[in-house]
Structure 1
């Protein structure tokens, strides 16, 4: 019999690519959406596979629908992020939905006897507390929860911790594995959801006056999904964390890769690096910049040696990922060619 995988958040950027990859590998896929009315858009984005893709109405902020969503499921890829209020000054607006959403999925999965849940966390959940620190860290490190840290980073750390604490008190067949990605770029499936590729979109449209000195560990969305599936299947992945970061590149290097790969189509991409003090001054009036000021000039990196050794995982070069991301944005009409 064909195995069934539940993917949380089928309308999401990573969720959509997870559906595509699982269908290509011969699985039946069920995906959660907040409203079944969104099903047609998901089918169109992933290339309508007929009855092999089904939908369940379930919201990470509500208990309703989760038991039905898990019925008959073999594996779960919990890649969805709940819609917290990122503009709120209250960090709990992000932290509580992320933590409670993870626990909701795990409760339903363990009740249904699912074999394994693979949950998406973030590399920021395995990073040093000090932003001034330059180091290479692995999965053994847990980010220390500190109210001074950005709420998003705290939400990912606390949600993953809550998941592991839940499993520590659980005595049953369901297993948990977590994947901790870096900055997720790559092609999009639909113009209706550009996900984290908004950064590349902003660079292509000239909405950034320059490149802040921010370093990103770029991972291709297709490689990230491949890591999730490897973590889902490998017996030795049970109960483990796996970093899924990629090559470390500065924003200026991303801009240069876009220029080299796209030529005239990258005419609006800024390649000059903005001095740190300029970004800090701009953040006074631009709230969207405040979250990144703490990362200016920081070169903390993560090693993916464990995923490579245990799961045989490989990543493509960052330059290839960002160029193919940009080409996809242009092809889907998100950015004018």
Structure 2
């Protein structure tokens, strides 16, 4: 039975200092979980230690490799993602997204003997885009293969958001390929949260915004064409997204599901 309550071994969170990752860590701590927070460097963990000071006995900052990080944890929330604002080649998005997902699953398979569930952060970009036709409805059965096709056709000339969507789509497909290979030999299952688009990060200027927040700030602060302004977009509060990740650890029936988070 995959129900992970606060008592017991910690929850590993990758990308813990990111936009969504920080809120996931906060939500876990507030609900009584112990957290092993993976950051890219010890410097990245300083801000976390400061804002989560009252939980210091339940928070471990970790800047090592996944192979060691997955040991002795009950659950893994993989929210780490590499995103850049103006990628040139599609692989600048695709390779890190796929490699990161494959890496955490491989580490869990080899060294995660206590892991019961892995929750992966994806995006509605892996479901599909609805930029023109307002009547189209998407659900968890959809895949954004159109983004892959467009990137294959246009290469570096594809729009950045399409490259991002293709990366998310490919990373999720890779996850399921590996899961089908591993499921007979591991004791954990998978859940994917697909969120739509109040930071806990220290943001002192627009240049310090990460990609997720920049995509919200930019059309408000800068001029956009009428066609761009007519495009539809889905949103969800980051607190709800974080809560969805935590609840995915606690709900047995979430195993194997793709779950859209959108308001």
Normalising by the smaller structure, the TM-score range is 0.7 to 0.9
How many Å apart are 1:2 and its aligned residue? Answer: 3.1
- 1:5 corresponds, among 7, 11, 14, to 11
The within-5 A match list for 1:1-337 is 1-58=7-64, 65-83=65-83, 85-111=84-110, 112-113=112-113, 114-127=115-128, 132-133=132-133, 134-144=135-145, 145-148=148-151, 150-170=162-182, 171=184, 172-183=186-197, 187-192=198-203, 194-195=209-210, 196-202=212-218, 206-208=221-223, 212-246=229-263
For the Cα contact (< 8 Å) 2:244–2:261, is it kept in 1?
yes
For the Cα contact (< 8 Å) 1:119–1:176, is it kept in 2?
yes
Q: Determine the C-alpha separation between the residues in 2 that align with 1:215 and 1:46.
A: 36
- Aligned partner of 2:4 in structure 1 is none
- For normalisation by structure 2, the TM-score amounts to 0.81
Q: Determine the C-alpha separation between the residues in 1 that align with 2:214 and 2:239.
A: 17
Q: Determine the C-alpha separation between the residues in 2 that align with 1:46 and 1:208.
A: 38
For the Cα contact (< 8 Å) 1:6–1:30, is it kept in 2?
yes
Structure whose CA Rg is larger: 1
1:7 match: secondary structure: strand
- For normalisation by structure 1, the TM-score amounts to 0.64
What CA RMSD, in Å, does the superposition of the two structures yield over aligned residues?
Answer: 2.2
Q: List gaps (5 residues or longer) in structure 2.
A: 1-6, 152-157
Q: Residue deviations 1:265-291, cap 9 Å, x none?
A: xxxxxxxxxxxxxxxxxxxxxxxxxxx
For the Cα contact (< 8 Å) 1:127–1:143, is it kept in 2?
yes
How many Å apart are 1:29 and its aligned residue? Answer: 0.3
For the Cα contact (< 8 Å) 2:80–2:100, is it kept in 1?
no
For the Cα contact (< 8 Å) 2:195–2:236, is it kept in 1?
yes
For the Cα contact (< 8 Å) 1:16–1:46, is it kept in 2?
no
Q: Residue deviations 1:75-96, cap 9 Å, x none?
A: 011111025x553331111101
2:150 match: secondary structure: coil
Q: Determine the C-alpha separation between the residues in 2 that align with 1:147 and 1:209.
A: 23
How many Å apart are 1:177 and its aligned residue? Answer: 0.7
1:31 match: secondary structure: strand
* Highest RCO, 1 vs 2 (Cα 8 Å, sep ≥ 6): 2
Q: Determine the C-alpha separation between the residues in 2 that align with 1:8 and 1:173.
A: 20
Change (3 A) 1:105 1:234: same
Change (3 A) 1:124 1:25: same
For the Cα contact (< 8 Å) 1:16–1:45, is it kept in 2?
no
1:177 match: secondary structure: strand
Q: List gaps (5 residues or longer) in structure 1.
A: 59-64, 247-337
1:118 match: secondary structure: strand
What is the aligned length? 234
